[in-house]
Structure 1
Amino acid sequence: MEPMIVTDQEWRDSFALTGYALDLAFGSGENDFELTCPERVEPGALAYIDGTEYGGIVDGETGASDSEVATYRGRTWHGMLAAKVLCPDPGSDYYELFGTPEQKIAAVIERCGLGGVFAARAGAGSASRWRFERFADAYTGLRKRLAEEGLRLAMSREGGRTLVWAEPVRTVGDAVDSDLLRFEATSVRRCVNHLVCAGEGELASRAVVHLYADAKGLVSKTQTLFGADEIAALYDYRGADAAELESEGAKKLRELQTAGGVEVTDVDGSVEAAVGDVVAARDNRNGRSVSAEVTKVIVRASDGSLSVSYEVGGASSQQSGAPSVQGGGVSYTGGRGIQISGGVVSSDLEIGSENMLRGTNRGSSGWWGSWGDGAGSISEAVAPDGSRGVRLSCSRKSGTWFYMAFSVGAAAPELNAIKRGDPVTVGFSAKASAPVPLFLSLQHGNGTNRLVEKSASGQAIGAEAVRYAFTFERSAVQATSESVVFFSVPLEAGADVVVWGLKLAGGEVDTGWSPSPYDQPPAVQSGVVSIVQKAVGEPASVYVAFPAPFAKSPNVVVSALTSVPHKVSVSASNLSAKGFSAYLCRTDALVETSVEWVATVQ
Structure 2
Amino acid sequence: MDLIKTDQYGRQIGYVQGANIDFEVGADEADSINDFEIELKRWNWDGSIRYGTRVFSPDTEYGGIVREISTDTSTNVIRAKGDTWRGMMTKKIIQPLSGQDYATASGELNSIIKSKIEAEYPGLFYGVTADTGVTVNNYQFDRYCTLHAGLVKMLKSVGYRLDIRYQEGDVGMAGYVKVSAVPINDLSSEYELTNDNNMNFITDDNRRGINHLICLGKGDLKDRLVIHLYADQNGTISQTQQYFKGAEEIAAIYDSSGSERDDLIKNGIKELESKKSSMSYNMTMTKLEGNIDLGDIVGGKDYLTGISMKKPIGRKIWTISSGKEKVVYKLEGET
Q: Residues of 2 paired with 1:118 and 1:296: CA distance? A: 22
Cα distance, 1:8–1:210 mapped onto 2, change above 3 Å? farther
SS of corresponding position for 2:67: strand
What residue is the counterpart of 1:84 in the other structure? 92
Q: Residues of 2 paired with 1:149 and 1:101: CA distance? A: 10
Cα distance, 1:184–1:109 mapped onto 2, change above 3 Å? closer
- 1:123–1:167 CA contact under 8 A, matched in 2: no
Q: Which amino acid aligns with 1:14?
A: I
1:275 corresponds, among 294, 310, 313, to 294
Q: Which amino acid aligns with 2:118?
A: E
Cα distance, 1:57–1:289 mapped onto 2, change above 3 Å? same
Deviation, 1:72, is: 1.2
Q: Which amino acid aligns with 1:118?
A: F
Cα distance, 1:140–1:249 mapped onto 2, change above 3 Å? farther
Q: Which amino acid aligns with 2:34?
A: N
SS of corresponding position for 1:171: coil
1:162 corresponds, among 177, 182, 187, to 177
Unaligned runs of 5+ in 2: 169-174, 218-224
Unaligned runs of 5+ in 1: 199-207, 314-328, 333-602
Q: How many residues align?
A: 301
Q: Residues of 1 paired with 2:280 and 2:325: CA distance? A: 32
Answer yes or no: is 1:212 the counterpart of 2:229: yes
Q: Which amino acid aligns with 1:243?
A: D
Of the structure 1 ranges 294-303 and 132-141, higher mean CA displacement relative to structure 2 is found in 294-303
1:116 corresponds, among 123, 148, 155, to 123
Deviation, 1:142, is: 0.7
Answer yes or no: is 1:258 the counterpart of 2:277: yes
- 1:185–1:263 CA contact under 8 A, matched in 2: no
Q: Residues of 1 paired with 2:101 and 2:261: CA distance? A: 20
Percent of paired sites with the same residue: 25
What residue is the counterpart of 2:21 in the other structure? 22
Cα distance, 1:215–1:52 mapped onto 2, change above 3 Å? closer
Q: Residues of 2 paired with 1:301 and 1:197: CA distance? A: 55
With normalisation by structure 1, the TM-score equals 0.44
Q: Which amino acid aligns with 1:171?
A: D
What residue is the counterpart of 2:102 in the other structure? 94
Deviation, 1:286, is: 8.4
2:252 corresponds, among 211, 215, 231, to 231
- 1:194–1:232 CA contact under 8 A, matched in 2: yes
The structure carrying a bigger helix percent of its residues is 2
With normalisation by structure 2, the TM-score equals 0.75
What residue is the counterpart of 1:146 in the other structure? 155
- 1:215–1:225 CA contact under 8 A, matched in 2: no
| 1:20-419 aligned within 5 A | 20-27=19-26, 28=28, 29=31, 30-37=33-40, 38-40=45-47, 41-65=49-73, 69-111=77-119, 113-121=120-128, 122=130, 124-129=132-137, 130-159=139-168, 160-172=175-187, 174-176=190-192, 179-180=196-197, 186-191=205-210, 193-194=212-213, 212-213=229-230, 219-220=237-238, 229-232=250-253, 243=262, 246-247=265-266, 249-250=268-269, 253-254=272-273, 256-258=275-277, 270-271=288-289, 273-282=292-301, 289-313=308-332, 331=334
Q: Residues of 2 paired with 1:169 and 1:158: CA distance? A: 22
SS of corresponding position for 2:87: helix
- 1:209–1:246 CA contact under 8 A, matched in 2: no
Cα distance, 1:190–1:271 mapped onto 2, change above 3 Å? same
- The one-character-per-residue Cα deviations of 1:167-217 (angstroms, maximum 9, x if unpaired) are 11112351536543787664523336437699xxxxxxxxx9855325655
- 1:21–1:36 CA contact under 8 A, matched in 2: yes
